[in-house]
Amino acid sequence: MKKLLLLALSVLFSLQLFASPSNSLNRLTDETLRFEVEGRKINDNFYSPRRIINIPKVDSKFYLPKAIHIKTKSHLTKNKGASAELTPSIQSATQGLSLSKVRALFPKYSDYSLLSSDKNGIGRIYEITYVNPIDPYDVCRELMNNPDIEYASPVFVYYPFFMPNDPSISKQYYLTKMSAQDAWDISLGNPNVRIAIVDSGVDYTHPDLTANMAEGGYDFVGNVTANDVANNRWKEDSDPKPLNTSNFHGTHVTGCANAVTNNEVGIASIAANCKYIPIKCAADNGNIIGIYRGYEAIIYAAELGADIINCSWGGPGYSPAGEDAINQATDMGSVVVVASGNEGSNIDYEAAYPACYDNVICVGATSSSDKATAFSNYGHSVTVYAPGDGIYSTRNPDTYSSEQGTSMASPIVAGLAALVKSVFPNYTPRQIYHQIRSTSDDVFSVDKRPQF
């Protein structure tokens, strides 16, 4: 398998994931409008081929409720201004609508003196508005059988392209590298999609995190001492916020995945409108380094129904219980995203866990040059690579900092997975895995790609 960088979201979301012809066909339903478009004359001897057009039904917010566009096969009789008179057959077909208005959409081109310049027939396009509450898709489907009509379609509503107003977004080079804005034009994320951050705790009172916190946070470790840790004594509680500000890892990771976006504060995140569940698996004291009971926390997150579980931690110890936990969480419907590690090692030979388990999305790190960093672990076990060098994100208390590591790359992919889940809510963990991996960029030249 290739070593891949998480592809710019412009490819994943605006091209391959949501706009490819194959995916459009997959969305076809009985409500889809289908019609044939005649070929266009290219020159005196050639025409372009006929095309079959499919218009899948979209959410009603994207089209006007009582209006349609039609293109007639010949010009309609003009009334005063842009008003036009329908042919008898079209009048008959629309009599149940209680018509309000029929107007030429481009009245200038309905003038016979401009016929020679109207090569696309826009002078024959009319907007019909009506009173009765009949879905435009149904109206169009019926009118497509009318001999006087070339096509009929809803009047679609479009929205301005999204650009967050977060003042520090210019410091987040990785959003530009990944063309996150193109993805946000497709989806800002579903608030019902939740990312569990299994980490050192989260300062959920941070102004750029508080609004995206979901219920269910938990502390598996508590305010323990080094002696407590040595004796496996834990002080669980329901508050996943670390007491010590030196414990900032989980807060930084959370911002990478799910900082509140478009709130005029701080930074943006890929999974803008999704929610996170903070699960603390470290001591409050940041000087006591370690993630404890992480696999228990993974099952806890899966039981809460977390769609994505991020684990920006790992080590060399293989745990069959840990592997079983991850397999179980996957069977329960959670996508487990993990960091590959920061030793610059080929983990095909020097294994790290949970990076090397099955059923995880294992993430390596790249720099602003779109190449794997020197510190990132690599190997065939690494699923994808994402920005992990100089990542500007949230830090407690109420501040921000730039950090580096696969710990940062992993939650960026977790945020991406949440966005995929938002658009494809019925995708299984494996489908999300393959959707991300198959639309990723290769960050290794052939001569540097690890070999067995």
So what's the pLDDT on residue 444?
Answer: 67
Q: What is the mean pLDDT of residues 125-154?
A: 92
Within 13 A of 143's CA, how many CA atoms are on the CB side? 29
pLDDT per residue as tens digits for the range 433-447 = 999 999 888 886 544
Lowest-pLDDT choice from 17-31, 93-107, 380-394, 400-414:
17-31
The position carrying tokens 């949440």 is: 418
Question: 325-357 burial, b for 16+ CB within 10 Å, e for fewer?
Answer: bbebbbeeebbbbbbbbbeebbbbeebbbbbbb
So what's the pLDDT on residue 264?
Answer: 92
Q: How far is CA 383 from the centre of its chain?
A: 18
Q: Is 118 left (phi over 0), alpha (psi -120 to 50) or beta?
A: beta
Quote the CA–CA distance of 42 and 138 in Å, as a whole number. 34
406: helix, strand or coil: helix
- The DSSP bridge pattern shows strands 361-366 and 335-339 to be parallel
Given a cut of 80, is residue 380 above it in pLDDT? yes
CB atoms within 10 A of CB 418: 31
Single out the residue of 128, 126, 110 nearest to residue 118, CA to CA: 110
Angle between helices 320-331 and 294-303 (to 10 degrees): 10
Contact, 219 vs 237, CB < 8 A? yes
So what's the pLDDT on residue 31?
Answer: 79
So what's the pLDDT on residue 29?
Answer: 57
- Residue 156: what are its φ and ψ, rounded to 5°? -80, 150
Given a cut of 60, is residue 1 above it in pLDDT? no
So what's the pLDDT on residue 117?
Answer: 75
Quote the CA–CA distance of 46 and 207 in Å, as a whole number. 62
The position carrying tokens 């995708």 is: 427
Listed in sequence order, the residues at least 6 apart from 95 whose beta carbon sits closer than 8 Å to its beta carbon are none
Single out the residue of 99, 107, 30, 35 nearest to residue 67, CA to CA: 99
> Residue 59: pLDDT band by 50, 70, 90 thresholds?
confident
Q: How far is CA 22 from the centre of its chain?
A: 18
Task: Say what the pTM is.
Answer: 0.72
Quote the CA–CA distance of 290 and 249 in Å, as a whole number. 11
CB atoms within 10 A of CB 60: 13
Q: Which residue has the higher pLDDT, 47 or 190?
A: 190
> Residue 35: pLDDT band by 50, 70, 90 thresholds?
confident
Given a cut of 50, is residue 147 above it in pLDDT? yes
So what's the pLDDT on residue 42?
Answer: 66
So what's the pLDDT on residue 26?
Answer: 35
So what's the pLDDT on residue 325?
Answer: 83
pLDDT per residue as tens digits for the range 390-424 = 999 999 999 999 999 999 999 999 999 999 999 99
So what's the pLDDT on residue 158?
Answer: 66
So what's the pLDDT on residue 446?
Answer: 46
Lowest-pLDDT choice from 156-160, 325-329, 421-425:
156-160
Q: What is the mean pLDDT of residues 141-154?
A: 91
Contact, 168 vs 266, CB < 8 A? yes
Q: Report the Cα–Cα distance between both ends of the chain, in Å, rounded.
A: 11
Question: 205-230 burial, b for 16+ CB within 10 Å, e for fewer?
Answer: ebebbeebbbebbbbbbbebeeebbe
Given a cut of 90, is residue 143 above it in pLDDT? yes
Within 13 A of 108's CA, how many CA atoms are on the CB side? 2
CA dihedral 327, 331, 337, 339 (to 10 degrees): 0
Q: Which residue has the higher pLDDT, 113 or 292?
A: 292
Contact, 298 vs 198, CB < 8 A? yes
Given a cut of 70, is residue 18 above it in pLDDT? no
Q: Which residue has the higher pLDDT, 262 or 30?
A: 262
Residues marked as catalytic = 199, 249, 407
Range with the largest mean pLDDT of 150-154, 282-286, 419-423:
419-423
> Residue 107: pLDDT band by 50, 70, 90 thresholds?
confident
